[in-house]
Structure 1
């Protein structure tokens, strides 16, 4: 079942301009605050009244029934816009978050099992649970209809199936497409048991998509252990020609709302730079160059000698823009190989924080 395209090319371009901001809002748990500006601009450009009453002069007064029809159409359009963003994020980073979270939880509790492909209704739940199901479940709990955990789970499944069946055809099509993607991914995963080294493009994609799973991972182990955690990572970045790139993520905020990085003066110089120096000793220059996207493999006798960043790093790395105020933060800084000078920049930055 092919998905129904409800946007014009111009409308799709408009939504695309907001997509990167939407992903950041997801990581910050601020999606609910993100919709109003989109709705405002959308209906300014494409008034729903022009769609619903396109054959009726705008000067005509609307009856009560027409007003109800218009209100319902506006709500439907808002739902379509939300679904457009939510589904696309499911296809990229958010799907990675969900699958990795399950892997993490199963691994930490030693209960790893085979991967199960979700049903269309389950996919729908990840996209629209808050808007379509959550309030009905909460009402049933408050009224005393649902008491035990099993009753609540059964009600959630039942209401989710009902909401999915009542969803517009284009939404159902998106969910079915996601199920097909999961089937393909499962087959590919099983075939890939003889693990070959990832390509540079696969490394690059993984680096782009790993931020949300890392955030989810830290939240999971924080909840399971009761500790606060910091994770740092660094290595050749294919999008930067193989130059070293570093990221750090932190849970826990103090009374001022700052995480460890934000509460530590010169955090990058004190902590990230020394880590980069060490990582620089693990990746010789020719290895870094070989990780670049579309790299042409050099002849064996033209490889550069192994070099360490210990003597090539400058005293500081520029701090990412923006500090944010939540409990999880990811920052990225980049350093060029020692033999190519010591210029630094921060082209890949998750500068704000993620709230619980």
Structure 2
């Protein structure tokens, strides 16, 4: 006697039903919403082919309220029907999963002959290792300019408050400072004879520790201000932007599918293109390392094209492996490497001009990552007050000179002791406002190729960008 329950094979009619649902299964799998699909597919199946009919079990009708006793299903039949239903559901799900794996194997066999399929495999592996960004991090990437402006204003407001509060206390202590100036002369004469004393060395050590502590305090304060400003901006952001951020976040949760990598460039979004560009450093690093291990060869890879994060403008990156005994890579050792980049930039421009018919500009514009301005953006900090107008010059009189505002010692010490790199690292675009003498932010690459950092390992890569206008750009 054979085992009663779900059959091991589907009938031809049932297979047609499952095939009709397969495209919906693939779509639900891409969107990571299989739970709703299973519910719909299984309920439709059991509506057409009830499992109790296969088992020969009669389900009693619902109670109609009559006095006549209704037949009841036995406990044995109820248990048998439950097991058979569960087994059938597993069969249905196994069919869809096996069918999906078969389709993937068929696609892989075809994709294996496609040009670039091996490198696409590297993109897939790196994509799986990428850490998911939190919603607040996604918001920062999408609104960098707005955030930097708000952080800069918040830091400036904080400095003005410090200056105003310290100016009062400094005026009270001016008398004591003047009285102590007489004694400082005698102390300075004594210091000449005690310059190399153990006491002097100990004081220098304490000063160094105080400077390090001050740098840490400035860094901590800058990061605290940035976190607060970003949180307040995100809270007051428009619902449309919050929905967009949420969509980007949820798109990370689904594991990367083959379809994401099989799309041609024309069908990829600017965000997808930028994400792939960000992975290039790891891809080229694997490429150079494998070549060196297999052949011992070293070299340079120069790539370029429209950069979505830079409004679709033509940019390029250089990846180098190997270094000379002096610690220089190939681009660093060539005095005229900048001319190579200029020529490459001009070539990239011509390639992306689409024969001069204007299509190239439209392509670059379509690949740009843009953000629609929101009317609900409310400034977190007040704007800086307008400058005081210069008084009109009267006849025979000169305008009255205003007394310069006294800078507090605390603020001056922060600017003097904190290094330029630390301030730029803390405040980013706000560093120039905090200390006007500082150079550009640290993510701005030096204008000389020889200023690039030397490599520590033979298969390590460094990157640079150079736009087609002859200026160095930001490294990403």
TM-score range, shorter chain: 0.3 to 0.5
Q: Structure 2-normalised TM-score?
A: 0.28
Flag the structure with more relative contact order, 1 or 2, with Cα contacts below 8 A and sequence separation at least 6: 2
Q: Structure 1-normalised TM-score?
A: 0.36
